[in-house]
Amino acid sequence: MKDIATPNRTKLILEKYGFSFKKSLGQNFLIDTNVLNRIVDCADLDNTSGAIEVGPGIGALTEQLAKRANKVVAFEIDQRLLPILEETLAPYPHAKVIHSDILKANVKQVMKEEFGEGQDVMIVANLPYYITTPILFKLLEENLPIRGIVAMMQKEVADRIAAGPGTKEYGSLSIAIQYYTEAETVLTVPRTVFVPQPNVDSAVIRLTKRSKPLVDVTDEAFFFSVIRASFAQRRKTLMNNLANNLSGIPKDKVWLEQTLLRIDIDPKRRGETLTIEEFARLSNALLQGKTAAE
Protein backbone atom coordinates (compact mmCIF):
# COMPACT_ATOMS: atom_id res chain seq x y z
CA MET A 1 0.00 0.00 0.00
CA LYS A 2 1.22 3.50 -0.83
CA ASP A 3 2.23 5.83 1.98
CA ILE A 4 -0.51 8.15 3.21
CA ALA A 5 1.66 11.24 2.71
CA THR A 6 1.52 11.52 -1.06
CA PRO A 7 -0.55 14.23 -2.78
CA ASN A 8 -2.66 11.61 -4.63
CA ARG A 9 -3.41 9.32 -1.71
CA THR A 10 -4.16 12.24 0.61
CA LYS A 11 -6.57 13.65 -1.98
CA LEU A 12 -8.33 10.28 -2.41
CA ILE A 13 -8.74 9.82 1.36
CA LEU A 14 -10.13 13.33 1.84
CA GLU A 15 -12.54 12.92 -1.08
CA LYS A 16 -13.72 9.49 0.08
CA TYR A 17 -14.75 10.88 3.47
CA GLY A 18 -15.82 14.32 2.23
CA PHE A 19 -13.41 15.87 4.69
CA SER A 20 -13.11 19.67 4.83
CA PHE A 21 -10.37 21.45 6.74
CA LYS A 22 -11.26 23.41 9.86
CA LYS A 23 -9.24 26.60 10.09
CA SER A 24 -10.14 26.83 13.78
CA LEU A 25 -8.17 23.62 14.42
CA GLY A 26 -5.12 24.72 12.45
CA GLN A 27 -5.29 21.68 10.16
CA ASN A 28 -2.46 21.42 7.62
CA PHE A 29 -1.58 17.89 6.47
CA LEU A 30 1.90 16.90 5.31
CA ILE A 31 2.10 15.37 1.84
CA ASP A 32 5.82 14.62 1.62
CA THR A 33 7.12 11.27 2.88
CA ASN A 34 10.75 12.42 2.79
CA VAL A 35 10.00 15.24 5.24
CA LEU A 36 8.10 12.86 7.51
CA ASN A 37 10.97 10.38 7.52
CA ARG A 38 13.40 13.13 8.42
CA ILE A 39 11.16 14.17 11.33
CA VAL A 40 11.05 10.58 12.59
CA ASP A 41 14.84 10.29 12.15
CA CYS A 42 15.24 13.25 14.52
CA ALA A 43 13.33 11.36 17.22
CA ASP A 44 15.88 8.49 17.12
CA LEU A 45 13.34 5.71 17.74
CA ASP A 46 13.90 1.97 17.62
CA ASN A 47 11.65 -1.09 17.96
CA THR A 48 11.62 -0.78 21.76
CA SER A 49 10.58 2.91 21.78
CA GLY A 50 7.18 4.43 22.38
CA ALA A 51 5.90 7.51 20.57
CA ILE A 52 3.17 10.00 21.44
CA GLU A 53 1.68 12.13 18.68
CA VAL A 54 -0.50 15.24 18.94
CA GLY A 55 -2.99 15.80 16.11
CA PRO A 56 -2.41 12.86 13.75
CA GLY A 57 -4.72 14.21 11.04
CA ILE A 58 -5.24 11.35 8.58
CA GLY A 59 -2.27 9.42 9.96
CA ALA A 60 0.64 10.47 7.71
CA LEU A 61 3.17 10.93 10.53
CA THR A 62 1.55 8.21 12.66
CA GLU A 63 2.22 5.68 9.90
CA GLN A 64 5.94 6.54 9.74
CA LEU A 65 6.21 6.41 13.54
CA ALA A 66 4.48 3.02 13.59
CA LYS A 67 7.06 1.65 11.14
CA ARG A 68 9.83 2.38 13.64
CA ALA A 69 8.37 2.35 17.15
CA ASN A 70 7.11 -0.40 19.42
CA LYS A 71 3.88 1.53 20.12
CA VAL A 72 2.32 4.82 19.03
CA VAL A 73 -0.40 6.70 20.91
CA ALA A 74 -1.97 9.67 19.11
CA PHE A 75 -4.32 12.31 20.57
CA GLU A 76 -6.87 13.64 18.08
CA ILE A 77 -9.45 16.31 18.97
CA ASP A 78 -11.45 16.19 15.69
CA GLN A 79 -14.07 13.43 15.80
CA ARG A 80 -14.46 13.54 12.00
CA LEU A 81 -10.95 12.10 11.63
CA LEU A 82 -11.54 9.00 13.77
CA PRO A 83 -13.10 6.79 11.02
CA ILE A 84 -10.39 7.92 8.59
CA LEU A 85 -7.64 7.00 11.06
CA GLU A 86 -9.32 3.66 11.71
CA GLU A 87 -8.91 2.86 8.02
CA THR A 88 -5.47 4.38 7.33
CA LEU A 89 -3.88 2.88 10.45
CA ALA A 90 -5.50 -0.54 10.10
CA PRO A 91 -2.14 -2.10 9.03
CA TYR A 92 -0.59 -0.88 12.31
CA PRO A 93 -2.38 -2.50 15.28
CA HIS A 94 0.25 -1.05 17.64
CA ALA A 95 -0.91 2.50 16.79
CA LYS A 96 -3.72 3.72 19.06
CA VAL A 97 -5.81 6.87 18.61
CA ILE A 98 -7.35 8.61 21.62
CA HIS A 99 -10.15 11.08 20.94
CA SER A 100 -9.14 13.90 23.25
CA ASP A 101 -7.98 17.49 23.46
CA ILE A 102 -4.29 17.23 24.39
CA LEU A 103 -4.62 20.35 26.60
CA LYS A 104 -7.23 18.56 28.72
CA ALA A 105 -5.84 15.02 28.57
CA ASN A 106 -4.12 13.31 31.49
CA VAL A 107 -1.04 12.39 29.46
CA LYS A 108 0.85 10.96 32.44
CA GLN A 109 -2.01 8.52 33.16
CA VAL A 110 -2.21 7.51 29.49
CA MET A 111 1.54 6.84 29.47
CA LYS A 112 1.19 4.68 32.59
CA GLU A 113 -1.51 2.63 30.88
CA GLU A 114 0.02 2.38 27.39
CA PHE A 115 3.80 2.16 27.89
CA GLY A 116 6.06 -0.01 30.00
CA GLU A 117 7.71 1.46 33.09
CA GLY A 118 11.00 3.05 32.11
CA GLN A 119 10.26 2.62 28.37
CA ASP A 120 11.95 5.11 26.05
CA VAL A 121 9.20 7.51 24.89
CA MET A 122 9.37 10.51 22.57
CA ILE A 123 6.63 12.99 21.69
CA VAL A 124 6.62 13.60 17.94
CA ALA A 125 4.09 15.98 16.43
CA ASN A 126 3.11 18.42 13.73
CA LEU A 127 1.62 20.95 16.15
CA PRO A 128 -1.31 23.24 15.32
CA TYR A 129 0.33 26.67 15.00
CA TYR A 130 -2.28 28.57 16.99
CA ILE A 131 -1.69 26.54 20.20
CA THR A 132 1.94 25.43 19.86
CA THR A 133 3.11 27.26 22.99
CA PRO A 134 0.33 26.08 25.37
CA ILE A 135 0.86 22.48 24.23
CA LEU A 136 4.63 22.63 24.75
CA PHE A 137 4.22 24.18 28.20
CA LYS A 138 1.69 21.57 29.26
CA LEU A 139 3.92 18.69 28.13
CA LEU A 140 7.01 20.13 29.84
CA GLU A 141 5.44 21.40 33.07
CA GLU A 142 3.79 18.03 33.76
CA ASN A 143 7.25 16.46 34.02
CA LEU A 144 6.30 13.47 31.88
CA PRO A 145 8.64 10.46 31.76
CA ILE A 146 9.77 11.22 28.20
CA ARG A 147 13.18 11.56 26.54
CA GLY A 148 12.08 14.64 24.66
CA ILE A 149 9.92 16.24 21.99
CA VAL A 150 10.35 16.58 18.24
CA ALA A 151 7.81 19.10 16.99
CA MET A 152 6.97 20.86 13.76
CA MET A 153 5.84 24.44 14.28
CA GLN A 154 5.83 27.87 12.69
CA LYS A 155 9.44 28.79 11.90
CA GLU A 156 9.15 32.07 13.77
CA VAL A 157 8.21 30.24 16.99
CA ALA A 158 11.03 27.70 16.52
CA ASP A 159 13.48 30.59 16.10
CA ARG A 160 12.27 32.11 19.37
CA ILE A 161 12.58 28.82 21.24
CA ALA A 162 16.16 28.18 20.12
CA ALA A 163 17.33 31.82 20.47
CA GLY A 164 20.16 32.95 22.73
CA PRO A 165 20.63 36.18 24.74
CA GLY A 166 21.17 39.42 22.84
CA THR A 167 19.09 38.42 19.80
CA LYS A 168 15.74 39.91 18.83
CA GLU A 169 14.12 36.44 18.95
CA TYR A 170 15.24 35.79 22.55
CA GLY A 171 12.48 36.17 25.10
CA SER A 172 10.45 34.55 27.85
CA LEU A 173 9.54 31.60 25.58
CA SER A 174 13.24 30.87 24.84
CA ILE A 175 14.08 30.85 28.55
CA ALA A 176 11.08 28.80 29.66
CA ILE A 177 11.70 26.03 27.10
CA GLN A 178 15.49 26.01 27.61
CA TYR A 179 14.95 25.82 31.39
CA TYR A 180 13.44 22.35 30.90
CA THR A 181 15.21 21.16 27.74
CA GLU A 182 18.13 21.47 25.35
CA ALA A 183 16.61 23.05 22.24
CA GLU A 184 17.84 22.86 18.66
CA THR A 185 16.27 23.51 15.28
CA VAL A 186 16.88 20.41 13.17
CA LEU A 187 14.90 21.03 9.97
CA THR A 188 13.32 23.85 7.99
CA VAL A 189 10.19 22.87 6.08
CA PRO A 190 8.73 24.85 3.14
CA ARG A 191 5.00 25.60 3.07
CA THR A 192 4.68 23.73 -0.26
CA VAL A 193 4.67 20.28 1.42
CA PHE A 194 1.35 20.88 3.17
CA VAL A 195 -2.26 20.75 2.14
CA PRO A 196 -3.74 23.31 2.47
CA GLN A 197 -0.60 25.42 2.26
CA PRO A 198 -0.05 27.59 5.36
CA ASN A 199 0.97 31.22 4.99
CA VAL A 200 4.32 30.65 6.70
CA ASP A 201 7.29 28.31 6.55
CA SER A 202 7.77 25.74 9.28
CA ALA A 203 10.64 24.29 11.27
CA VAL A 204 11.18 21.15 13.29
CA ILE A 205 12.68 21.62 16.73
CA ARG A 206 14.12 18.90 18.95
CA LEU A 207 13.79 19.39 22.70
CA THR A 208 15.88 16.97 24.76
CA LYS A 209 14.62 16.86 28.33
CA ARG A 210 17.16 17.79 30.99
CA SER A 211 17.60 15.44 33.97
CA LYS A 212 16.97 18.55 36.09
CA PRO A 213 16.18 22.17 35.18
CA LEU A 214 19.10 24.20 33.81
CA VAL A 215 19.29 26.49 36.88
CA ASP A 216 18.34 26.26 40.56
CA VAL A 217 15.60 28.66 41.59
CA THR A 218 13.99 29.14 44.99
CA ASP A 219 10.48 29.55 43.56
CA GLU A 220 9.76 28.43 39.98
CA ALA A 221 6.52 30.41 39.62
CA PHE A 222 8.24 33.60 40.80
CA PHE A 223 11.20 32.93 38.46
CA PHE A 224 8.83 32.86 35.46
CA SER A 225 7.04 36.00 36.73
CA VAL A 226 10.40 37.83 36.81
CA ILE A 227 11.13 36.72 33.24
CA ARG A 228 7.70 37.81 31.93
CA ALA A 229 8.04 41.19 33.65
CA SER A 230 11.57 41.69 32.27
CA PHE A 231 10.31 41.33 28.70
CA ALA A 232 7.03 43.22 29.16
CA GLN A 233 8.33 46.20 27.15
CA ARG A 234 11.47 45.19 25.31
CA ARG A 235 12.82 48.73 24.84
CA LYS A 236 12.67 49.53 28.53
CA THR A 237 15.49 48.85 30.99
CA LEU A 238 15.37 45.85 33.27
CA MET A 239 14.80 48.06 36.30
CA ASN A 240 11.87 49.93 34.73
CA ASN A 241 10.24 46.72 33.55
CA LEU A 242 10.55 45.07 36.97
CA ALA A 243 9.33 48.18 38.81
CA ASN A 244 6.28 48.52 36.53
CA ASN A 245 5.35 44.91 35.82
CA LEU A 246 6.46 42.60 38.63
CA SER A 247 3.89 42.27 41.39
CA GLY A 248 4.75 41.13 44.89
CA ILE A 249 7.95 43.19 45.33
CA PRO A 250 8.39 46.54 47.11
CA LYS A 251 7.63 49.43 44.75
CA ASP A 252 10.88 51.10 45.72
CA LYS A 253 13.32 51.82 42.88
CA VAL A 254 16.21 52.41 45.28
CA TRP A 255 15.70 48.97 46.82
CA LEU A 256 15.39 47.43 43.37
CA GLU A 257 18.54 49.14 42.09
CA GLN A 258 20.53 48.02 45.14
CA THR A 259 19.31 44.44 44.69
CA LEU A 260 20.43 44.40 41.05
CA LEU A 261 23.84 45.95 41.81
CA ARG A 262 24.42 43.49 44.66
CA ILE A 263 24.25 40.58 42.18
CA ASP A 264 26.37 42.37 39.56
CA ILE A 265 23.54 43.13 37.13
CA ASP A 266 23.46 46.65 35.68
CA PRO A 267 19.93 48.08 36.21
CA LYS A 268 20.20 49.80 32.80
CA ARG A 269 20.50 46.50 30.92
CA ARG A 270 17.54 45.17 28.96
CA GLY A 271 15.96 41.81 29.71
CA GLU A 272 17.04 40.36 26.36
CA THR A 273 20.72 40.61 27.39
CA LEU A 274 20.42 38.42 30.50
CA THR A 275 21.35 34.74 30.44
CA ILE A 276 19.13 32.15 32.10
CA GLU A 277 21.72 31.91 34.91
CA GLU A 278 21.46 35.66 35.50
CA PHE A 279 17.66 35.46 35.60
CA ALA A 280 17.91 32.70 38.21
CA ARG A 281 20.26 34.84 40.31
CA LEU A 282 17.92 37.82 39.92
CA SER A 283 14.82 35.85 40.83
CA ASN A 284 16.43 34.35 43.96
CA ALA A 285 17.78 37.76 45.07
CA LEU A 286 14.42 39.52 44.56
CA LEU A 287 12.62 36.80 46.49
CA GLN A 288 15.14 36.94 49.33
CA GLY A 289 14.94 40.74 49.48
CA LYS A 290 11.15 40.70 49.31
CA THR A 291 10.95 38.23 52.22
CA ALA A 292 13.36 40.33 54.29
CA ALA A 293 11.34 43.48 53.58
CA GLU A 294 8.06 41.92 54.74
pLDDT digits (tens, 9 = 90+) for 3-16: 999 999 999 999 99
pLDDT digits (tens, 9 = 90+) for 142-174: 999 999 999 999 999 999 999 999 999 999 999
Residue 2 falls within a domain, yes or no? no
Closest CA to 96 of 154, 131, 56, 133: 56
- As a whole-number percent, the residues of the chain with pLDDT over 90 amount to 86
pLDDT at 275 over 60: yes
Q: Are residues 70 and 144 in the same domain?
A: yes
Q: How many Å apart are CA 242 and CA 256, to the nearest integer?
A: 8
Residue 1 falls within a domain, yes or no? no
Q: Are residues 175 and 224 in the same domain?
A: no
User: Residue 166 sits in a domain of what CATH number?
Assistant: 3.40.50.150
- As a whole-number percent, the residues of the chain with pLDDT over 70 amount to 98
Contact 144, 54 (CB under 8 A): no
| CA-CA-CA-CA dihedral for 43, 47, 49, 54, to nearest 10 | 60
**pLDDT recorded at residue 26:** 75
The answer to the question of whether 284 is labelled as a binding residue is no
Residue 215 falls within a domain, yes or no? no
Residue 97 CA neighbour count, 13 Å, CB half:
25
Q: Are residues 83 and 149 in the same domain?
A: yes
The answer to the question of whether 55 is labelled as a binding residue is yes
The answer to the question of whether 256 is labelled as a binding residue is no
Q: Among the three residues 177, 209, 241, which one is the final residue of a domain in this structure?
A: 209
Q: Are residues 263 and 140 in the same domain?
A: no
pLDDT digits (tens, 9 = 90+) for 116-139: 999 999 999 999 888 999 999 999
Q: Are residues 167 and 238 in the same domain?
A: no
Q: Are residues 22 and 115 in the same domain?
A: yes
Q: Are residues 63 and 201 in the same domain?
A: yes
Q: Are residues 42 and 161 in the same domain?
A: yes
Q: Are residues 255 and 177 in the same domain?
A: no
Residue 30 CA neighbour count, 13 Å, CB half:
30
The answer to the question of whether 101 is labelled as a binding residue is yes
Q: Are residues 238 and 155 in the same domain?
A: no
Q: Which domain holds residue 77?
A: 7-209
pLDDT digits (tens, 9 = 90+) for 42-83: 999 999 999 999 999 999 999 999 999 999 999 999 999 999
Q: How many Å apart are CA 144 and CA 207, to the nearest integer?
A: 13
Q: Are residues 156 and 12 in the same domain?
A: yes
Q: Are residues 14 and 110 in the same domain?
A: yes
Q: Among the three residues 209, 240, 266, which one is the final residue of a domain in this structure?
A: 209
**pLDDT recorded at residue 293:** 58
Domain count, the chain: 2
**pLDDT recorded at residue 1:** 63
